[in-house]
Amino acid sequence: MSAPLVPNSEDFGQVAREYRESVSSSSRPERAAARDTSSVCGQIHIASAPWPTPKKIESKLPPVAPFDAELLPAAMRDYVLDVSDRQQSPPDFAAVASLCGIAAVVGNDLRIKPKSLDDWEVTPNIWGVMIGRPSAMKSPAMRSALAPVFAMQDRLRKDWEIAKRDREIDAQLQGIGAKDAAKEAAKAMKAGDAERARRLIAEHMEPDEGDSPCPRMIVNDATVEKLGELLNENRHGLLLIRDELAGFLSRMDADEYQSERAFYLEAYNGDGAFTYDRIGRGTVHIERATVSIIGGAQPSRVAPLVCGAMTGARDDGLLQRFQLAVWPDDQRDWTWIDRRPNARACMSFDAAFESVQIFARNLEAPAVFSFSKEAQELFRQWMTDLQSAARSGNMPSALESHLLKMPKTMAALALLFELIDGGRESVGVIATGRALDWADYLRSHAARLYGAGTIIAENGARLICDRRGQLAAKFTARDVQRKAWAGLSDKDAVSAAMDLLVEAHHVRGATIPSTDAGGRPSVVYEWNPKLSREG
């Protein structure tokens, strides 16, 4: 395995600069120079300098590292590649889903101390998102990768059904014996032997155990109140699977779902308690709120979420908790593949899940792993370099927050890789090195994720340009917003799009003072006449 690379702050500095250039107008002197701020008798005078040639507006998402099969332990590698080949999907999707699945199998039964002396403990709870166009095979890859988890849940349900039937049979038999015991007890009472009567009744009393709930490992759509009850019934933790994760996250942006948002922020840590009070359900205390999450998202749906995180509107760290966020390049080549699944790879993949689950469930209390001496030094050096890069001030705060959450994720991955490889004591160099290789791979995808904030501005700018015939010769951003075009009903979105149009020399404008005392000035734009001739 190649040695893990240290974070490169220059790469993220470039991403930050591109983002600021695409959404910020106040920091660019050339934009300010394109606006004549004079106003005479209410007439708008837009600078009469020659118009430059318009530039094409196009997306400039950062490149991402391709998936390397060596990122996965040998027990999982061949199966993920087999799924990717048969489905013609990026291997990134199946790889991330499988890691979120095995993290849910471990749950909160195992933990790792990233430092040798400190009491900081990490529960290997992981959130992942697969980003790709609708036909990128996200859902099929996810179902294949989570097949062992679905199989485990099916077995748990079948075992529960058998046990429930046995309890019902025992209850019937107990009832028959109780009737006979009652008759004997009645005779004993008539004979004056109250002690024997009590003993007969006590021997045949049915214990009031109630029906135990059916065990769960997976949830798809549950309110936070119901999820809390399920977590108390399944104390190891649960895996939330959503085909359309963007809709789930968008819902929690609404004011009425802020309590749910707070719950999931806490459930990410995986080792904390959570208490909520409801009139109908009363007080529910969750001893260990542990929820792993995996789902898919389309680029157009995830871009608004990124914008919210980067502008501060929803900058509470929820999006940054999706540390295993992958956005691979589209696969343009397609090949007809029709063959049987690799049986040996499937058996090895399933065995890895089974082995980890058996080990985790046989522990009486949460076991805490530590790094070996050599692995500890490797992790220490990596974390030191990461902190320096993240705190350099060369990147947007949202991306900085994402990086600063990486140590928890890398420690969790190192623990999972050690368990998959059969380690049952400390986390060694091989598992730690593989986790830090994931850090390099995931950083490139994080750069693309937070670069997605520019997609909305670019799409909006192109839409305004395409529909410029519906606007007056001179217009304001407010005129654009009133059109309520797709993606342009928000003031910030329109402002970002107009800044890009100015940058691309499609429009220029003049700033005029407000007619109201103390009011804000406004900008009036006009189109570059070369657009009609040169496109």
In this structure, what CATH number is given to the domain that contains residue 104? Answer: 3.40.50.300
User: How many domains would you assign to the chain?
Assistant: 2
Q: Residue 168: helix, strand or coil by DSSP?
A: helix
- The DSSP code for 320 is G
Residue ranges in 135-193 assigned as alpha helix (H) = 138-145, 147-190
Give the domain range for residue 387. 69-155+215-451
Of 451, 481, 512, the domain-final residue: 451
To the nearest whole number, what is the mean pLDDT of the chain?
A: 84
Which range in 260-274, 324-338, 500-514 is most confidently predicted, on average pLDDT? 324-338
The whole-number average pLDDT for the span 164-169 is: 77
pLDDT of 236 higher than 80: yes
Residue 12 lies in a domain: no
Q: Are 45 and 306 in contact (CB under 8 A)?
A: no
Whether the CB-CB separation of 323 and 99 falls below 8 Å is answered with no
User: What pLDDT was estimated at residue 224?
Assistant: 85
Q: Which amino acid is at 155?
A: R
The two three-digit tokens of residue 519, written as one number: 């009011």
Of 503 and 178, more confident: 503
The residue-averaged pLDDT of 501-507 equals: 91
Residue 509 and residue 385 in one domain: no
According to the 3-state scheme, what is the secondary structure of 185-243? HHHHHHCCCHHHHHHHHHHCCCCCCCCCCCCCCEECCCCHHHHHHHHHHCCCCEEEEEE
For β-strands 43-44 and 39-40, DSSP reports them as antiparallel
pLDDT at 15 over 60: no
The pLDDT confidence band at residue 46, using thresholds 50, 70 and 90, is: low
Residue 149 contacts residue 101 (beta carbons within 8 Å): yes
Q: What are φ and ψ of residue 3, in 5° steps?
A: -65, 140
Distance (Å, whole) CA 455 – CA 299: 9
Strand partners, 238: 291
- H/E stretch holding 94 reads helix 91-106
Asked whether residue 440 falls in the same domain as residue 459, the answer is no
394 and 507 both lie in a single domain? no
Q: Are residues 465 and 371 in the same domain?
A: no
Helices (H), 362-451: 373-390, 397-404, 406-420, 429-451
Shared-domain flag, residues 321 and 353:
yes
Q: How far is CA 310 from CA 306, 355, 397, in A?
A: 6, 41, 7
* pLDDT for 47: 55
pLDDT at 205: 67
Work out the number of other CB atoms within 10 angstroms of the CB of residue 163: 11
* CATH number of the structural domain spanning residue 52: 1.10.10
Same domain for 131 and 235, yes or no, is yes
Indicate the residue among 404, 422, 451 that finishes a domain: 451
Q: Helix, strand or coil for residue 25?
A: coil
- What is the tens place of the pLDDT at every residue in 352-375? 999 999 999 888 778 999 999 999
Q: Are residues 54 and 126 in the same domain?
A: no
Highest average pLDDT, of 290-294, 361-365, 526-530, comes from: 290-294
Residue in the block written with tokens 């900081």: 120
- 27 falls in which pLDDT band (50, 70, 90)? very low
Number of Cβ atoms within 10 Å of the Cβ of 51: 16
317, 342: one domain: yes
Gap between the Cα atoms of 240 and 142, Å rounded: 12
The whole-angstrom separation of Cα 435 and Cα 431 is 6
The pTM of this model reads 0.76
In sequence order, what are the beta bridge partners of 241?
294
Shared domain check, 458 and 367: no
Q: Convert 306-333 to b/e letters by CB count within 10 Å (16 or more is b).
A: bbbbbbeebbbebbbbbbbbbbbeeeee
Q: Which of 415, 430, 451 is where one domain is finished?
A: 451
Q: Which residues have C-beta within 8 Å of that of residue 494, sequence separation ≥ 6?
A: 460, 477, 480, 481, 488
Q: Is residue 421 part of a domain?
A: yes
Question: Quick check: is 19 in a domain?
Answer: no
- Render pLDDT for 59-106 as a digit per residue (tens, 0 to 9): 677 899 999 999 999 999 999 999 999 999 999 999 999 999 999 999
Task: Please report, as a single letter, which amino acid is at residue 8.
Answer: N
Dist CA 118 CA 523 (whole Å): 56
Same domain, 126 and 256: yes
- pLDDT for 348 equals 97
Q: Note whether 317 and 258 are within 8 A (CB).
A: no
Two structure tokens written together for 10: 């220059």
Q: How confident is the model at residue 325 (pLDDT cuts 50, 70, 90)?
A: very high
Q: Does residue 85 come out as left (phi exceeding 0), alpha (psi in the -120 to 50 range) or beta?
A: alpha
Same domain? For 47 and 113 the reply is no
Q: Which residue has the tokens 């305004």?
A: 464
| Nearest partner of 512 among 198, 3, 45, judged by Cα | 45
- Over residues 460-479, the mean pLDDT reads 91
> What residues does 276 pair with on adjacent strands?
284
Task: Say how many CA atoms lie within 13 Å of 480 toward its Cβ.
Answer: 31
| Pair 353, 470 in one domain | no
How far is residue 280 from each of residues 225, 277, 506, measured CA to CA in Å? 10, 9, 58
186 within domain boundaries:
no
